[in-house]
Amino acid sequence: MAPRTIMKQTLTFSALLALVLLGSPVNAAGDVTAPAGPASVTLPSLPRLEPIVPPETDPIALRELDRVLEQLTAPDARSRQGARAALQDLPDNALGAIRLRIQDIRASLDRKAAPIVLGNARAQGRKKLRSAATEDKKGDKSAQKESADLAEDWLEFMLATALPDDATWRDVVKLLAMNRMLGTIGTTPAVREIIAMHAYFGELLRLDLQRLVLRLRDKAVPALIEARKHDAEIVRRWAGRQLENLGRAIPGEAVSTNDTQLLADVLRAYGRTRDVDALRVVLSFCNSERERLREAAREAITAIGEPGIWQLREAYLSMTGNKPPREWGWDRLARELFTAHDRKRLAEVHEFMARGVELSKQEKYDGATASFDNVLSRAPLVDRRSDMEAAFIKQGHALRKSEAPPEQTIAMFIKASALTHRPQQDEQWKSLEAEISYLEGALLAENGTPDRFSFKRALELSPNHTLAHSALTTPGAAVSKADTKTPRNIAIGAISLVPLTLTLVLAEHQRRLRRRQRLMSSALEGSVASEGE
């Protein structure tokens, strides 16, 4: 295929990719070949791995955290009991506040008294736990003690032996409570703080932290991989043991998860630790159909850099069938490899796009929208998004005329509306939104929960929308007319329901947004699933 032909096929994509293809000859199989001499190709820059930034402290979240911790260590037993439930109900931005308070206690904690206070509470708690059971004196006592410690809840033990006048008791309770909060948050940044607590407090909280890690399982893996390069040797050894306990010590095991965000965190963790042994696994994701994984893998490859040059050379040979020139450094190899992957992936996108446009010209809108779904699943930000809009609109009208389920019709119109960023004054945007509002109202009415608001909004956007007008005015249509209450009763009821009405309007607005998101997500997931079949 000549470079001129390739240029014509890729003008609909980014100008940068077109420049790359113009300077990169291809063989008959469509693979990029290595240039014979120094190339004048402008390759895309390598993505950089963002540094780990401590979470910011939100003043409101900090005040709420302080309130909960003060109640948890209050002299009043009822306050302590009420504060326990709040440990599971955290604001989204609580991580920075937790980190700040941990640092405060790190500076003020009595390191000699804390193990004694915690040890006494654990001893009394174990005694209560074992009071109804016969102690087994056989076997390895140290192993039995370790196993028993892992099954305990130290925070409950501390609260059961309350010493609110003791500053050390209050500090330990707050630390254990914040451990539980971090476990509830469960994100990679939260697990980093859990691991940091082991570095701060050593053996004092080791078993409690270990219990949290075992409970979090795969969610703890990215931060544990990073911790194997921690400055403190005790943390490095501990993190390695936890990965072995979780069965995630080697790269092939660590990437065994279906959580996209978690997998991306694992890939970036290997980049931050510059783990050359994991590079082959990371390379397998550098052309993933999921953009989040693709970017994470490429950032990790860039972070590993020079030590992985031989794996990069092998990957380039496997991808293109050609050995890269020896003068290429690791960065040139990575850029050439990523470009080759992008060209091959976007060639499929171009093929689906061309097929969809052709089917649209033939007025075969069901096939056209199926092809466009494949385009969007591979390249959601493709340049020719506006070329798909008409097909989704016409397919939506066709589905409505065929009395297809309203969910399918709504999904088509939502996709059409999302493809182009039209201003709200645009008549096309108003028409689409009116259709969506009407269909949402019809769907609610069909489910036995009629909603006048949806039809009124459809008429506001499109005053000539006859179906919405009929639904509001025709007796026995989608929405029933007003009942026969007297004006006095209606007025009294209206006045008493004003606050409730305002609440319901706001709730309905949020519900409509969530419903649209679910419809859009299910439609896209369906297109991806059909593609896989």
Q: Which residue has the higher pLDDT, 440 or 98?
A: 98
Of the residues 446, 465, 481, which one is the last residue of a structural domain? 481
Mean pLDDT calculated for residue range 469-485: 51
Q: At what angle do helices 291-304 and 260-272 cross, to 10 degrees?
A: 10
Based on the domain organization, do 474 and 486 belong to the same domain?
no
Q: How far is CA 341 from the centre of its chain?
A: 25
Task: Give alpha helix (H) positions in 420-462.
Answer: 427-446, 452-461
Q: Number of H helices and number of E strands within the chain?
A: 27, 0
Compute how many other C-beta atoms are within 10 angstroms of the C-beta atom of residue 1: 12
Based on the domain organization, do 195 and 229 belong to the same domain?
yes
Q: What is the pLDDT of residue 299?
A: 94
At 482, the pLDDT band (50, 70, 90 cuts) reads very low
For the ranges 85-89, 247-251, 500-504, the lowest mean pLDDT is seen at 500-504
For the ranges 128-132, 188-192, 326-330, the lowest mean pLDDT is seen at 128-132
Question: Is 533 a residue whose pLDDT tops 60?
Answer: no
What letters, b where the CB count within 10 A reaches 16 and e where it falls short, cover 87-98? Answer: beebeeebbbbb
pTM value is 0.65
At 284, the pLDDT band (50, 70, 90 cuts) reads very high
Q: Tokens 């009394």 map to which residue? A: 124
At 141, the pLDDT band (50, 70, 90 cuts) reads low
Nearest to 308 by CA among 264, 274, 342, 353: 274
For the ranges 174-183, 206-215, 385-394, 442-451, the lowest mean pLDDT is seen at 442-451
Q: What is the pLDDT of residue 421?
A: 65
Based on the domain organization, do 368 and 458 belong to the same domain?
no
Percentage of the chain modeled with pLDDT above 90: 29
Based on the domain organization, do 160 and 213 belong to the same domain?
yes
Q: Which residue has the higher pLDDT, 420 or 54?
A: 54
Based on the domain organization, do 66 and 215 belong to the same domain?
yes
Based on the domain organization, do 367 and 477 belong to the same domain?
no
Task: Give alpha helix (H) positions in 321-426.
Answer: 330-361, 365-378, 386-401, 406-419
Residue 225, domain member (yes or no): yes
SS3 content of the chain, % helix, strand, coil (to 5): 70, 0, 30
Mean pLDDT calculated for residue range 448-463: 70
DSSP single-letter state for residue 477: S
Mean pLDDT calculated for residue range 356-363: 84
Residue 264, domain member (yes or no): no
**CA–CA distance, 277 with 518 (Å, rounded to integer):** 40
Q: Which residue has the higher pLDDT, 48 or 413?
A: 48
Nearest to 126 by CA among 161, 152, 162: 152
Contacts of 6 (CB under 8 A, 6+ apart): 21, 22, 26
Q: Are 59 and 150 in contact (CB under 8 A)?
A: no
Residue 387, domain member (yes or no): yes
Q: What is the pLDDT of residue 414?
A: 78
Burial class of residue 411 in the structure, from the number of CB atoms within 10 Å of its CB (0-12 exposed, 13-18 middle, 19+ buried): buried
Of the residues 213, 243, 273, which one is the last residue of a structural domain? 243
Count of structural domains, the chain: 3
Strand partners, 505: none
Based on the domain organization, do 370 and 463 belong to the same domain?
no
Strand partners, 201: none
Mean pLDDT calculated for residue range 271-283: 93
**CA–CA distance, 79 with 68 (Å, rounded to integer):** 9
The Cβ-side half-sphere exposure at 138, using a 13 Å CA radius, reads 0
Q: 401 φ, ψ to 5°?
A: -65, -30
Residue 152, domain member (yes or no): yes
Based on the domain organization, do 118 and 203 belong to the same domain?
yes
**CA–CA distance, 371 with 335 (Å, rounded to integer):** 30
Which residues form the domain of 65? 59-125+147-243
Residue 313, domain member (yes or no): no
Residue 381, domain member (yes or no): yes
At 182, the pLDDT band (50, 70, 90 cuts) reads very high
DSSP single-letter state for residue 306: G
Of the residues 243, 277, 302, which one is the last residue of a structural domain? 243
Based on the domain organization, do 238 and 387 belong to the same domain?
no
Q: Are 207 and 153 in contact (CB under 8 A)?
A: no
Identity at 91, one-letter amino acid code: P
Mean pLDDT calculated for residue range 462-489: 54
Identity at 364, one-letter amino acid code: K
Q: What is the pLDDT of residue 271?
A: 94
Q: Are 409 and 440 in contact (CB under 8 A)?
A: no
For the ranges 220-224, 260-264, 395-399, the lowest mean pLDDT is seen at 395-399
Question: Is 48 a residue whose pLDDT tops 70?
Answer: yes
Based on the domain organization, do 160 and 215 belong to the same domain?
yes
Question: Is 351 a residue whose pLDDT tops 50?
Answer: yes
Question: Is 530 a residue whose pLDDT tops 90?
Answer: no
Q: What is the pLDDT of residues 104-122, one digit of tens each?
A: 999 989 889 999 989 988 8
Q: What is the pLDDT of residue 81?
A: 83
Q: Are 240 and 249 in contact (CB under 8 A)?
A: yes
For the ranges 29-38, 237-246, 374-383, the lowest mean pLDDT is seen at 29-38
Compute how many other C-beta atoms are within 10 angstroms of the C-beta atom of residue 121: 24
Based on the domain organization, do 494 and 445 belong to the same domain?
no
For the ranges 90-104, 134-148, 206-220, the lowest mean pLDDT is seen at 134-148
Residue 328, domain member (yes or no): no
Based on the domain organization, do 412 and 453 belong to the same domain?
no
**CA–CA distance, 283 with 464 (Å, rounded to integer):** 56
Strand partners, 26: 32
Residue 514, domain member (yes or no): yes
Q: What is the pLDDT of residue 74?
A: 86
